[in-house]
Structure 1
């Protein structure tokens, strides 16, 4: 089958399916990949609803999707590391390789990054995708294509955990129990953290977190950030505070509480994205001499480590998948994610034959969607 059917965002809340030409290799170092599975990320939903994220604005029709795995169907003449038939996880962005950040080992900060489903570049919810071979990672036999589609968010979590410099015996608090927050907790545990405390405003998310990787959970209350911080420390017996605190929510109350949870001399990492400007407890940051870091996407070695964590069974990404939908049901899948009832949905590629047993019920509850939107406007909790 050779359909290049694509899921296209025309403008906010307006999507369509469009049959596009199969792309040609632009370089002898590129490969052509048949997309098997794609996950839905919060950024995809945000573009779908709002048409923009920060200064990235959808001005022309754009194919959505960037969490994908697929099968190599063609290789350029200069490719030696991959062959037709190889199953790969796709790193959906590639840099210029020549600028200061790239040459300094921080290619994720490249100002000329080409990133899937980030205007003006098309994404991976399509039949075929071309990419540089060195940004396609061959999957070990033990790692499925569905797991391969989840390497992207896991690589985000790996990068965050590296930024937090988590070492064996550390105590770690993760604000937010969405997909990335859950994966950060799992990576922290794989890195040897003695305690992983997951915090959220939704009890069902915390129940899952406790069964996934968290050693402790805390349901955030409508109290001051200082009081929530004291409660977290008491609930998990953190003594003077956590060695590392990671915000994976982007919510202002969570960020404020984080600086009161971290111990003197501890580390704080901002992994979730929220409002451009917030009220920040700068005195807590200074007096404790906290090391604070931002975290953006992933960098050198993060994809390879993410694949190895799955291959060794240290992070069970399959447990995050609530189901798989056929490509024709992509819009319903987006609505289901917006509804807030699922952790991860995978969309099968247009050429992928989907087992009936795998299919997810895409019936949506409009009342639940409205409830989730109202909670998001309040700015409490949330997921990456």
Structure 2
């Protein structure tokens, strides 16, 4: 078994050993010491208190890879997180020790053309918690830039703060597709990202939202979260034509924006086929690497296909939506585990098993 060097015990000034969940191989997570990087002048040290498991974490856990990101050495997982500031860099001005913060997990270079244009989420030098080869945040403590730590108001819990990360995907998607009070929305896929996209679309004012999935249990959850209608579909691409008619009938109006939150050939074909001429399709899910889809028929109807990758500048709006009650993410947290060896093993197996597990959360 590959281990973490015992010479890097990760002890802080108080003699406490910082521990983290290291992925050492397929389905092999071990809690071992983690030596934090030095605290820079604009960094803060944060004690992690809440962390959710993402689908990408599960892919790493099951396969040691997620899309084109491959784990080649032991790595710490986790990026949906919130905690309490314990130490400040010498130049930190906006935060104080004891502040409760939600962490935006990606640090961009800030100097490339994409960053300069404000599109830092597609920075080629992005270092993202728990995305190979960058260590993640499933640890007692992490060091993170001050400007990526957002103070939480008293009425927003640390668990809700951790949920800002997946919610940011839905918010960024709605911004990219220009969802508003005159936009009827179709969501393909009722997994965690489909559900946060549903919540975001409603908060952006979408008057009617229909969600589709193969799993009736997930659809019932979506209805409880505010979907106007739901449609259960098959995995057979031959059924797309018939299902699109049913989806359009259920919407009972134009489908102005569709979000594919899955990323398979069938899900994207469904979204493209169901959307009204002149509408938009947001591609969020990335389950399948290469897709064969009916782009010609979409082109003659002037369907805009909008790529959506992570998010940018979303945490303030997430926190506003949560603090005002416009969005409630608490029903999405279905399972909670402690940060112990058994806890991390059970949590990841629960998340990997699907079923009724939507968001699996650690209380660190």
Shared fold (TM-score, shorter chain, > 0.5) = yes
Describe how 1:149-160 pairs up with structure 2 within 5 A.
149-160=162-173
Larger mean CA deviation between 15-24 and 173-182 belongs to: 15-24
Aligned partners of 1:21, 1:111: CA distance in 2, in Å?
26
**Corresponding residue for 1:230?**
245
Aligned to 2:296: 283
* 1:198-217 correspondence runs (5 A): 198-217=211-230
Cα deviation, residue 184, structure 1: 0.5
Q: CA deviation at 1:3?
A: 4.4
Following superposition, the deviation at residue 348 of structure 1 comes to 1.5
Q: Match of 1:265, SS?
A: coil
Using the size of structure 1 for normalisation, the TM-score is 0.88
Partner of 1:364: none
Q: Which residue of 223, 226, 231 maps to 1:218?
A: 231
Question: Given the alignment of the two structures, is residue 4 of structure 1 paired with residue 15 of structure 2, yes or no?
Answer: no
Q: Which residue of 2 aligns with 1:242?
A: 255
**Residues 189, 213 of structure 2: 8 Å contact kept:** yes
Deviation at 1:23, TM superposition (A): 4.3
Q: For the residues of structure 1 that align with 2:29 and 2:221, how far apart are their CA atoms?
A: 32
The answer on whether the counterparts of 2:36 and 2:143 sit within 8 Å (CA) in structure 1 is no
Provide the C-alpha distance between the structure 2 equivalents of 1:258 and 1:225, rounded to a whole number of angstroms.
Answer: 10
- Per-residue Cα deviation, 1:243-265 (whole angstroms, up to 9, x for no partner): 00000111221110111110010
Q: Does 1:345 align with 2:360?
A: yes
Please, which of 322, 329, 332 is the counterpart of residue 317 of structure 1? 329
- The answer on whether the counterparts of 2:264 and 2:291 sit within 8 Å (CA) in structure 1 is no
- In structure 2, the gaps of 5 or more residues are 1-13
Per-residue deviation at 1:53? Answer: 1.7
Are the counterparts in 2 of residues 182 and 213 from structure 1 also a CA contact under 8 Å? no
Cα deviation, residue 169, structure 1:
2.5
Shift of 1:42: 0.3
Write the deviation string for residues 126-171 of structure 1: whole angstroms up to 9, x where unpaired.
0110011000110111100011111100011110111110011210
For 1:73 and 1:8, locate their aligned partners in 2 and report how far apart those are by CA, in whole Å: 23
Aligned length: 345
CA distance in 2, matches of 1:90, 1:164: 25
Q: Distance in 2 between matches of 1:187 and 1:155?
A: 9
Aligned match of 1:62: 75
* Runs of 4+ residues deviating >4 angstroms: none
Which residue does 2:4 correspond to in 1? none
Question: Does the aligned pair in 2 maintain the 1:242–1:261 contact within 8 Å?
Answer: yes
Q: Hey, what's the Cα distance between the residues in 1 that align with 2:317 and 2:325?
A: 12
In 1: Cα distance, 2:305 partner to 2:153 partner: 35
Q: Give the unaligned 5+ runs of structure 1.
A: 350-384
Per-residue Cα deviation, 1:270-326 (whole angstroms, up to 9, x for no partner): 0011211111111221111011110000112x1111111111111111110113111
Q: How does 1:159-308 map to 2 (within 5 A)?
A: 159-221=172-234, 222=236, 223-238=238-253, 241-300=254-313, 302-308=314-320
SS of the counterpart of 2:168? Answer: helix
Is 2:114 aligned against 1:114? no
Q: What secondary structure, in the 3-state scheme, does the structure 2 residue paired with 1:31 have?
A: strand
Aligned-residue RMSD, C-alpha: 1.2
The reply to whether residue 140 of structure 1 matches residue 153 of structure 2 is: yes
2:6 maps to what in 1?
A: none
